[in-house]
């Protein structure tokens, strides 16, 4: 009897503003794959803690909130609709302030364990593109195709600035740069599942690359991995 087919996963990890969200969305659309924005899960967990008056460093209570929150995602073209307990939180999720809260709650191993099952349930046929910090190192360590996407801090802050001001939000480049630096330090320096490239990841520096070219490189790398390891 042959082994059951494994649903392929493409992991795209990297720091905030590296372009992984846009690249993941486009690669998933090109292949007809499902999409997991794991950062949004941590963002919603942080919002749920704030709503319930749970301090982000109250590890047991935050993990309880993360494991019981009722969250749903809907891919809507260029953005993701997110509901928490049936309430639309799509506007709060992308804020840099929410990203900063998410980074604080995400450093706790108990919180990460609480959302592990939720993340893994996104793996469904015909395939999944998963974007985050530890997709290739922890959550889908067996993924067929792993990518680590990065860019200079200045370029990432500039992209975030563009993205948020396009949405009509008032932010300054200086504030974004310091928040991104602080998040990088926290996400890379934490003990559990720190942000780092998986040993078998293809690293792409997107500082001066157009998004189309990054997507092409990811799709070409995926095709190469499929040819190397037919499922």
Residues that bind ligand DC (CB under 6 A): 16, 38-39, 42-43, 99, 102-103, 106, 132-135, 183, 187
- Taking the complex as a whole, the smallest distance from the CB of residue 44 to ligand DC amounts, in Å, to 10
Quick one: how far is CA 19 from the chain centroid?
10
In the complex, minimum distance from the CB of residue 76 to ligand DC, in angstroms, rounded to a whole number: 17
Parallel, antiparallel, or unpaired: how do β-strands 71-76 and 79-84 relate? antiparallel
Contact 157, 22 (CB under 8 A): no
Task: Using CB positions, name the residue nearest to ligand DC.
Answer: 39
Nearest distance, CB of residue 228 and ligand DC, angstroms:
26
Minimum CB–partner distance for residue 203 and ligand DC (Å): 17
Rounded Cα distance between 14 and 131, Å, is 8
Q: How far apart are alpha carbons 43 and 194 in whole angstroms?
A: 17
Task: Enter the DSSP assignment of 227.
Answer: H
Q: Which helix H or strand E contains 84, and what residues bound it? A: strand 79-84
Kindly state the tokens that stand for 79. 């953005």
Q: Decide whether 16 or 127 has the Cβ nearer to ligand DC.
A: 16
- Number of helical H runs and strand E runs in the chain: 9, 8
State the CB neighbour count (10 A cutoff) for residue 32: 8
CB of 134 to ligand DC, least distance (A): 5
């Amino acid at each position: 009897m042959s082994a059951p087919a494994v649903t392929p996963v493409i992991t795209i990890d990297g720091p905030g503003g590296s372009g992984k969200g846009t690249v993941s969305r486009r690669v998933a659309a090109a292949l007809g794959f499902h999409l997991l924005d794991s950062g949004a899960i941590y963002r919603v967990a942080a919002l749920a803690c704030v709503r319930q008056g749970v301090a982000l460093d109250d590890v047991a209570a935050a993990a309880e909130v993360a494991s019981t929150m009722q969250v749903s995602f809907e891919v809507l073209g260029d953005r993701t609709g997110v509901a928490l307990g049936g309430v639309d939180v799509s506007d709060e999720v992308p804020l840099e302030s929410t990203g900063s809260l998410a980074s604080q709650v995400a450093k706790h191993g108990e919180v990460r364990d609480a959302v592990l099952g939720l993340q893994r349930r996104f793996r469904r046929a015909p395939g999944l593109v998963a974007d985050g910090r530890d997709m290739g190192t922890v959550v889908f360590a067996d993924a067929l195709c792993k990518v680590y996407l990065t860019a200079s801090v200045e370029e990432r802050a500039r992209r975030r600035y563009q993205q948020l001001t396009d949405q009509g939000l008032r932010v300054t480049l200086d504030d974004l740069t310091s928040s991104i630096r602080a998040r990088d330090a926290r996400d890379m320096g934490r003990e559990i599942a720190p942000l780092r490239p998986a040993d078998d990841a293809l690293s792409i520096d997107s500082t001066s690359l157009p998004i189309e070219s990054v997507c092409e490189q990811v799709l070409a790398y995926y095709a190469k991995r499929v040819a190397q390891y037919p499922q």
